[in-house]
A and B are shown apart, each in its own frame.
Chain A
Amino acid sequence: GNSVTQMEGPVTLSEEAFLTINCTYTATGYPSLFWYVQYPGEGLQLLLKATKADDKGSNKGFEATYRKETTSFHLEKGSVQVSDSAVYFCALKSFTGRRALTFGSGTRLQVQP
């Protein structure tokens, strides 16, 4: 079946530090890959996505590249801000079998001023 594995948190960084949150997946076929962000007290919001191999999704300074050879979709940001503090979820959508999103366990990011 489909699965997503994320690095455990929390990840604590100082403002302007470089961020990487690792995500690897297992899926049949060629899934689409997503990063969602959940700010305190709010619902999940789509941060970025990639629908095919070598695609790079980007938004708000965050980037992730769909690497089929390593089945990975790592999230990166060059310089984090306090406002980036949130929980980040990696997810995939496969077009075989269940069609709802499959999520990783989430990684909490805490950015300190």
Chain B
Amino acid sequence: GAVVSQHPSWVICKSGTSVKIECRSLDFQATTMFWYRQFPKQSLMLMATSNEGSKATYEQGVEKDKFLINHASLTLSTLTVTSAHPEDSSFYICSARVGLAEGYEQYFGPGTRLTVT
């Protein structure tokens, strides 16, 4: 099946710094990738939809200037958490979409755990 990787799998950063998380589709091209955030014991909340070559579409309540998304190629999307604060600590998961029609599938990366100290 389709494989999606994320890097890093775990990162600790100091408050005020920025962190970049990469999401790659390893054996397929993805025109659309989704970024989710998961709090402990809670569901995955969609943050934004990333389309190759265009601006990301953010969900209501997600600060686009804080969570910068770049989808520069058909196999790579990046999420940059700018000026991170402890409340940004969470598990970030990306997902790549395969197929264009209504029957498309989503394949998920293993997630990145961000801890802001």
Contacts and interface: CB of A to CB of B under 8 A. Distances in A.
Interface of A: 4, 36, 41-46, 51, 89, 95, 98, 100-106
A101 B32 CA distance: 13
A46 B102 CA distance: 17
Nearest to A46: B105
Interface residues of B, number: 21
B109 A105 contact: no
B49 interface: yes
Nearest to A44: B108
Given A98-B46, A100-B106, A101-B106, A43 B93 contact: yes
Interface string B27-67: 00000001000000111101001000000000100000000
Given A36-B108, A100-B95, A105-B41, 10 more contacts: A43-B107, A43-B109, A44-B93, A51-B103, A98-B59, A100-B46, A101-B44, A103-B43, A106-B41, A106-B42
Interface of B: 4, 6, 34, 41-44, 46, 49, 59, 93, 95, 102-103, 105-111
B43 A43 contact: no
- Interface of B, helix, strand, loop or mixed by DSSP: strand
Contacts of B34: 100-101
B43 A104 contact: yes
B110 A42 contact: yes
B110 to A, nearest CB: 4
The 6 closest A-B pairs by CB, nearest first: A44-B108, A43-B110, A43-B108, A105-B43, A103-B43, A103-B44
B78 to A, nearest CB: 17
Contact of B42 (A4, A95, A102, A105): A105
Given A100-B34, A101-B106, A43 B111 contact: yes
Contacts of B4: 43
Nearest to B110: A43
